[in-house]
C-alpha cells in the first residue's frame, strides 16, 4: 500500500509527461499550441520544453507558418534519441526488431528454433539482440531497453510461469537477460505485447479501451483499459482462449471443456483429420486461395466461432474496438465475413454502436513492436493522474 505521494518533483514529472505526449501526438507543434492544448502556462511549457531539448528528447525544427503574428518555432519528438529491441519468441521461430522510440523498424532478424531448453533459447536470443544492437546508429541514449513477448503466462517480475508450447515452467527470464545484457528487460505475454503494439503504433491508436485477440496455435487476448495494459491480479489476465463456449464440449488440456481455442484456433485443425489437406495455417491459406472447398468451409466455420467468443468478450467488456491479430489473421478473406455477421447478430445493440472490429495493422510484427514499446514506455516513464467520477 505504498502510495505515491505528491510533491513538486511529481508535479514536474506529470507535466513533463503531458507535454512530451502532446508533442509526440501533435507534432510538429509550437510551444504556444502545447500550452493551449494542455492548459499549462506558457512559461511552464517553455521551461519544460527547454529541459526536454537538453535531454535530446525534443528538437526544434525551425519556424512554421505565421497566423497573423510572430512565427511559431515548431517542435518534434526526437524518436532517434535512443533505440529499443523487441523480440518475439514463438514455438518454431524467434524474431526480433530494432526500433526507434517511435516504433519505426530499423532492422529485423529471425531464426528457426528447434530446441526449447532455456539455455539454448536464451543464448540464441542474446546473440540476436547483440546483433541488432550493433546496427543501432549513434544516439544520445543508445539502446534503452529490451522487450520480449513470450507464448505463456508471465508474472510481475518477468518470470515465465508457464509456457506449455515451449515446455517452460518458472523461468526467471527477465533476471537472466538483465544480468547477461546489462540493460532493462521487460517480459510480456505475446498477446499483451501485441495489444500494446497495435494500441501505440497500429490499428488501435485512438482507443482507450481495446481488446486484442491473438489467434494462432491457441487464442490469447490483450486487454487495454484506460490506455493501459490490464494484467490482472497476478499478471495472468487474457487467457480468453480457455473460455468455454460449449459448457459440455470437448475436453481441453487445461481442465476445462469446450474451450474457445478448440474451435477457433489452429487447434480446430486436429478434428478434421483427412478432410483438411494440412495442419498448417499458411499452407491452408494457400489451398484456400486455390479454391479448396473444404478448407474454405473450415475457415468460415472458424470465423463463426471467433465471432461467438468475441461477442462474449464484447458483451462483458464493452471495448471501443477489437483487433484481430496472430497467424490466423492471414486467413482474413475467408473468416471475416462470417465473423462480422455473427458479431452483428449476437452482440447487444448498445455495445455494437461505435464499436469496431478490425484486423491487425502491424501483422506478424505487432508482438515484437509491442514488446519494444514496453521497453520504450519504461524509459519515457509515463505518469497518469486519474480522478474517478464514481
Partner DNA sequence: ATAACTTAGTTTAACCAATAGACAAAGTAT
Partner DNA sequence: ATACTTTGTCTATTGGTTAAACTAAGTTAT
Q: What angle do CA 362, 174, 93 make, to 5 degrees?
A: 45
Q: How many whole angstroms separate alpha carbon 39 and alpha carbon 192?
A: 33
Residues 199-218: x/- map of binding to a copy of itself (CB under 8 A)?
Answer: --------xxx---------
* 235 touching a copy of itself, by CB under 8 A: yes
Work out which of 83, 299, 305, 334 binds a copy of itself, going by CB under 8 A.
Answer: 305
Q: How many whole angstroms separate alpha carbon 382 and alpha carbon 14?
A: 8
The 10 Å Cβ neighbour count of residue 70 is: 10
Cell (9 digits) for 261? 481455442
* 184 touching DNA, by CB under 7 A: no
Bridge partner list, 86: 97, 147
* Residue 127 binding partner per list a copy of itself, DNA, none, with a CB distance cut-off of 5 to 8 Å that depends on partner kind: none
* 335 touching a copy of itself, by CB under 8 A: no
Work out which of 141, 236, 269, 379 binds a copy of itself, going by CB under 8 A.
Answer: 236
* 290 touching DNA, by CB under 7 A: no
* 15 touching a copy of itself, by CB under 8 A: yes
Place of cell 461505435: 354
Q: What angle do CA 147, 152, 158 make, to 5 degrees?
A: 45
Work out which of 68, 255, 274, 291 binds a copy of itself, going by CB under 8 A.
Answer: 255
* 8 touching DNA, by CB under 7 A: yes
Q: How many whole angstroms separate alpha carbon 338 and alpha carbon 349?
A: 18
* 43 touching DNA, by CB under 7 A: yes
* 188 touching a copy of itself, by CB under 8 A: yes
Q: What is the CA radius of gyration of the chain?
A: 23
Pick 22 or 80: Cβ nearer a copy of itself: 22
Work out which of 78, 95, 176, 186 binds a copy of itself, going by CB under 8 A.
Answer: 186
Q: How many whole angstroms separate alpha carbon 230 and alpha carbon 238?
A: 9
* Residue 71 binding partner per list DNA, a copy of itself, none, with a CB distance cut-off of 5 to 8 Å that depends on partner kind: DNA
Q: Are 324 and 357 in contact, with CB atoms under 8 Å apart? A: yes
Work out which of 17, 46, 55, 320 binds DNA, going by CB under 7 A.
Answer: 46
Pick 37 or 118: Cβ nearer DNA: 37
The long-range contacts involving 171-176, CB below 8 angstroms and separated by at least 24 positions, are 171/118, 173/122, 173/148, 176/122
Residues that bind DNA (CB under 7 A): 5-9, 11-12, 15, 30-33, 39-44, 46-50, 63, 66-73
Amino acid at each position: 500500500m505504498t502510495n505515491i505521494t505528491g510533491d513538486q518533483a511529481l508535479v514536474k514529472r506529470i507535466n513533463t509527461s503531458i507535454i512530451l505526449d502532446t508533442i509526440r501526438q501533435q507534432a510538429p507543434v509550437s510551444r504556444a499550441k502545447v500550452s493551449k492544448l494542455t492548459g499549462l502556462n506558457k512559461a511552464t511549457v517553455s521551461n519544460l520544453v527547454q529541459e526536454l531539448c537538453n535531454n535530446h528528447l525534443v528538437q526544434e525544427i525551425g519556424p512554421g507558418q505565421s497566423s497573423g503574428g510572430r512565427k511559431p518555432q515548431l517542435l518534434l519528438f526526437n524518436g532517434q534519441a535512443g533505440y529499443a529491441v523487441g523480440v518475439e519468441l514463438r514455438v518454431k521461430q524467434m524474431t526480433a526488431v530494432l526500433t526507434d522510440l517511435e516504433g519505426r523498424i530499423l532492422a529485423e532478424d529471425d531464426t528457426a528454433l528447434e530446441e526449447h531448453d532455456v539455455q539454448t533459447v536464451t543464448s540464441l536470443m542474446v546473440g540476436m539482440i547483440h546483433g541488432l544492437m550493433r546496427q543501432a546508429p549513434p544516439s544520445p541514449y543508445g539502446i534503452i531497453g529490451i522487450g520480449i513477448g513470450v507464448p505463456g503466462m508471465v508474472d510481475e517480475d518477468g518470470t515465465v510461469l508457464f509456457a506449455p508450447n515451449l515446455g517452460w515452467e518458472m523461468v526467471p527470464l527477465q533476471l537472466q537477460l538483465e544480468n547477461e545484457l546489462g540493460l532493462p528487460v521487460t517480459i510480456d505475454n505475446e498477446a499483451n505485447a501485441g495489444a500494446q503494439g497495435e494500441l501505440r503504433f497500429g490499428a488501435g491508436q485512438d482507443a482507450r479501451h481495446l481488446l486484442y485477440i491473438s489467434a494462432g496455435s491457441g487464442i490469447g487476448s490483450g486487454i487495454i483499459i484506460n490506455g493501459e495494459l490490464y494484467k490482472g491480479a497476478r499478471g495472468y489476465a487474457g487467457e480468453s482462449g480457455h473460455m468455454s463456449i460449449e459448457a459440455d464440449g470437448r475436453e481441453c488440456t487445461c481442465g476445462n471443456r469446450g474451450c474457445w481455442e478448440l474451435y477457433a484456433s489452429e487447434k480446430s485443425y486436429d478434428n478434421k483429420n483427412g478432410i483438411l489437406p494440412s495442419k498448417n495455417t499458411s499452407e491452408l491459406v494457400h489451398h484456400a486461395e486455390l479454391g479448396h472447398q473444404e478448407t474454405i468451409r473450415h475457415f468460415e466455420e472458424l470465423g463463426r466461432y471467433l465471432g461467438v467468443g468475441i461477442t462474449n468478450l464484447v458483451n462483458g467488456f464493452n471495448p471501443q474496438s477489437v483487433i484481430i491479430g496472430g497467424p490466423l489473421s492471414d486467413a482474413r478473406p475467408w473468416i471475416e465475413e462470417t465473423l462480422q455477421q455473427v458479431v452483428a447478430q449476437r452482440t447487444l445493440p448498445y455495445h455494437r454502436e461505435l464499436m469496431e472490429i478490425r484486423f491487425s495493422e502491424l501483422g506478424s510484427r505487432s508482438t515484437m513492436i509491442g514488446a519494444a514499446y514496453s521497453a520504450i514506455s519504461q524509459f519515457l516513464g509515463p505518469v497518469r493522474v486519474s480522478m474517478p467520477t464514481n
